[in-house]
Amino acid sequence: MRKKLAALTMCAALAAGSLYGCAPEDGTSASAAAPASTEAQAESKGEETTAAAASNVEVNEALEGDLVFAIWDNNLMDYIDQNDMAGKFQEAYPNINIEVEKIKDDSEYWNAMKMRASANQLPDVMFNKPFTLSRFKDYLIDLSDLDATRNNELAAGYGLDGKILGIPMTAGYEYVYYWKDMFEEAGVEVPTTWDQLKEVSRTLQDYYGKDNPDFMAIALGAKDEWPDYPFMEFMPALEGGNGQNWNDMAKTDAPFAADTDIAKAYQKAYDLFTSGVFGKDPLGLGSDQATALFAQKQAAITALGDWGLQNIQNGTDDYSQLGTFYLPARNTESDPFRVIVQGDSFMGITTHSKNPEAAKAFVEWFYSDAWYPGYINFVTSASSMTNFPKEKDPILAEADAAQPDMELVMYDGGGDDFQAIQNETAFDYKKLGAEMFTKGFDLTARLEELNTKWAAARQKLGIQ
């Protein structure tokens, strides 16, 4: 598959709200553990790979020292415990001791890292999100010279000031799931433009809704608000091919003006939301209910991340007709077909490390065949390493096959300036999406109101 990377300069910073749009707000990691049916195979594969690497291990006794590696990911911790990461690393570097510090969750992690940065006590190796890289950029060393960086598909796209400050461990994609047999019976095909999506959805609603008043062409649990994120969070970035759209909004007084990407995207979402294709009561359903109804074919389409596949499969006895495509946000078939991708868990080395060369050796080892292939097969997320590609589930791979020339838009969740203005104006894109389903909602008036509040907030906060 040939992918064209969108030419973006990433300047990520800490964001509020959704830390990772493709995951539920219950704190579930985007790198969820593999389904039980494949977990044993993944572990076996990981063990075989690690064993093969260990049999030809090159021992380096020159590097020495103690390292602290701080994480919050429960799935990574499980894999580390099950596969004796410290022991395997010492087979190659017997004089380097590594301590894994597991912090309760990501919220506690950021609080701890912030305090430790001020106290000059950061761990040797830490993780970042795309939008925390710039917050800690003064405490991270450049990893541009590492093989792990050169072999990573996404790292360069998140560079800051010409430096690579973190190497993303996984890649996350968003999908539209659909039932092939339902499409075929209704006489519709997979849409590749926004207008086609609207037309297909209306046809499905009319065809199945005439006999089933509870049918939804598109299942979305708007009661929980966050499930509208494919449209409300990601569509503005897809509209202009700009994964930095939230950060760019913080630089202008009128980011919701009619000619902006966000206004264009929200008008598209509003037209779809008010077309009746989400059933008679999308605000009456939560995420779990909507996914369960889709799994039982009470809906023909739903939009979720790669993590949603297992939830759908668990809700049905037969998923042989389940397929995927990417959200077609483009206006015409001659426009680029843009797809959101997110790097996650950026491994970096801090300036507080007393043994930076040993820390570099650990990072290189982590992303080598001695460790990384086993881990990436243990989780459901996609590989970020070009030298260790991971075969996608056949259902998810269908979306790639349909768009071999897709343009990847590396998404950033918004930085400190955006967060500050967002808090001041109470702008919540997911809540705004849910409000679009309410009777009498006026999108034009709301966007004008947001522009007024945005300009006042920038002035009050002194953000230029």
The pLDDT score that the predictor gives to residue 8 is 36
How far apart are the C-alpha atoms of 120 and 351, rounded to whole Å? 9
Q: Residue 21 carries which side chain, given as an amino acid letter?
A: G
8-23: average pLDDT = 35
Tell me the pLDDT tens digit for each residue of 412-425.
888 788 989 999 99
185-195: average pLDDT = 98
The pLDDT score that the predictor gives to residue 38 is 41
Secondary structure class of 87 (helix, strand, coil): helix
The pLDDT score that the predictor gives to residue 161 is 87
Look up residue 282 and give its DSSP letter. G
The pLDDT score that the predictor gives to residue 49 is 44
How far apart are the C-alpha atoms of 97 and 99, rounded to whole Å? 7
How far apart are the C-alpha atoms of 441 and 446, rounded to whole Å? 8
424-446: average pLDDT = 96
Least confident of 51-60, 143-152, 440-449: 51-60
| pTM confidence score | 0.76
Tell me the pLDDT tens digit for each residue of 79-99.
999 999 999 999 999 999 999
Tell me the pLDDT tens digit for each residue of 121-131.
999 999 998 87
**Of residues 378, 381, 377, 398, the one with CA closest to residue 319:** 398
Listed in sequence order, the DSSP H helices in 152-244 are 180-186, 194-209, 229-232, 235-240
E strand or H helix that includes residue 138: none
Least confident of 41-50, 59-68, 332-341: 41-50
For residue 410 the two structure tokens come to: 């590396």
- Structural contact between residues 359 and 122, judged by C-beta atoms closer than 8 angstroms: no
The pLDDT score that the predictor gives to residue 318 is 97
Residue 436 has pLDDT above 70, yes or no: yes
Residue 399 has pLDDT above 80, yes or no: yes
The pLDDT score that the predictor gives to residue 15 is 34
269-281: average pLDDT = 97
Residue 357 has pLDDT above 90, yes or no: yes
238-256: average pLDDT = 95
The pLDDT score that the predictor gives to residue 334 is 97
**pLDDT confidence of 7, banded at 50, 70, 90?**
very low
Q: Which residues contact 44 (CB under 8 A, 6 or more apart)?
A: none
The pLDDT score that the predictor gives to residue 416 is 81
Domain 63-169+343-390: CATH superfamily, name plus number:
Periplasmic binding protein-like II (3.40.190.10)
Radius of gyration of the chain from its Cα atoms, rounded to whole angstroms: 23
Residue 41 has pLDDT above 60, yes or no: no
Least confident of 7-16, 118-127, 138-147, 266-275: 7-16
Look up residue 128 and give its DSSP letter. E
Beta bridge partners of 160: 163
- Structural contact between residues 170 and 246, judged by C-beta atoms closer than 8 angstroms: no
**pLDDT confidence of 216, banded at 50, 70, 90?**
very high
Tell me the pLDDT tens digit for each residue of 283-335.
999 999 999 999 999 999 999 998 899 899 999 999 999 999 999 999 999 99
Distances (CA, A) of 104 to 110, 121, 169: 11, 18, 19
Beta bridge partners of 408: 5, 339
Phi then psi dihedrals of residue 384, to 5 deg? -105, 0
Identify the architecture of domain 171-339+410-459 in CATH. 3-Layer(aba) Sandwich (3.40)
- Structural contact between residues 300 and 183, judged by C-beta atoms closer than 8 angstroms: yes
**Of residues 333, 338, 281, 327, the one with CA closest to residue 302:** 327
In terms of phi and psi (left: phi > 0; alpha: psi -120 to 50; beta: otherwise), the region of 161 is left
- If one compares 323 and 382, the residue with the highest pLDDT of the two is 323
The pLDDT score that the predictor gives to residue 414 is 84
The pLDDT score that the predictor gives to residue 135 is 87
The pLDDT score that the predictor gives to residue 107 is 82
The pLDDT score that the predictor gives to residue 123 is 98
**pLDDT confidence of 111, banded at 50, 70, 90?**
very high
Q: Provide, rounded to the nearest whole percent, the portion of the chain with pLDDT above 90.
A: 77
Least confident of 51-65, 295-309, 400-414: 51-65
Secondary structure class of 67 (helix, strand, coil): strand
Phi then psi dihedrals of residue 342, to 5 deg? -130, 125
Tell me the pLDDT tens digit for each residue of 160-175.
889 999 999 999 899 9
- Structural contact between residues 243 and 409, judged by C-beta atoms closer than 8 angstroms: yes
Where do the structural domains in the chain lie, given as residue ranges? Answer: 63-169+343-390, 171-339+410-459
